[in-house]
Structure 1
Amino acid sequence: MPMPVKLNLSNKDNIKRFININMNTNCEIDVVNGRISIDGKSIVGLMSLDLMKPVDVFIIGDSDEINEVKSLYEKNNLTC
């Protein structure tokens, strides 16, 4: 099982950057908040979560793509 990345999506700019990164990758992105898991490419799904607390993000795909997505999260100041 992949290791989660803890992200801060507590404001709309972070959510926009997160969605834009996710839409440009072939990786599967799962956002987990408590017992709820949603598709990280779904703005509607994200808005249904309590985003005031950091969320766990699981990136599933090729290791090079996973590292690229993680790097983009860091460059966009999304990581906790």
Structure 2
Amino acid sequence: MFEMKVRFATPGQIKSFCSVCQKMTSDIDVVNVENPYDRIDGKSIIGLMTLELDVPFILQVSGDDEESAAEIFSEFAEER
């Protein structure tokens, strides 16, 4: 399983993120940092649009695409 912190600043970023996820075969979850039981399917635009903007989340990728996930999702990585 691949994990990284991500942050979405705009609804447009969420839409773009979901489009990327829908092209992948892996299971993709966006997990609340403060409550790991609160997770949303990365391929669900409805679920993703409920996320609070400009808050860190943990991206979890599990499956065939996890080796390339760091590069694929780099534009959504949380700035440090």
Interval containing the TM-score (normalised by the shorter chain): 0.7 to 0.9
The CA RMSD over aligned residues, in Å, is 1.5
Deviation at residue 22 of structure 1 after TM alignment: 0.2
Contact 1:25/1:69, CA 8 A, preserved across alignment: no
Q: Percent identity?
A: 31
**How many pairs align?**
75
- Choose between structure 1 and 2: higher helix proportion: 1
What TM-score, normalized by structure 1, do the two folds share? 0.80
Uncovered stretches (5+) of structure 1, i.e. residues with no partner: none
Deviation at residue 70 of structure 1 after TM alignment: 2.3
- SS of 1:4's equivalent? strand
What TM-score, normalized by structure 2, do the two folds share? 0.80
* Aligned structure 1 segments of 4 or more residues deviating by more than 3 angstroms: none
Deviation at residue 17 of structure 1 after TM alignment: 1.9
| Structure-1 residue corresponding to 2:18 | 19
Residue by residue, what CA displacement relative to the aligned partner does 1:36-64 show, whole Å, maximum 9, x if unpaired? Answer: 111111111112222320111100102xx
| Structure-2 residue corresponding to 1:78 | 76
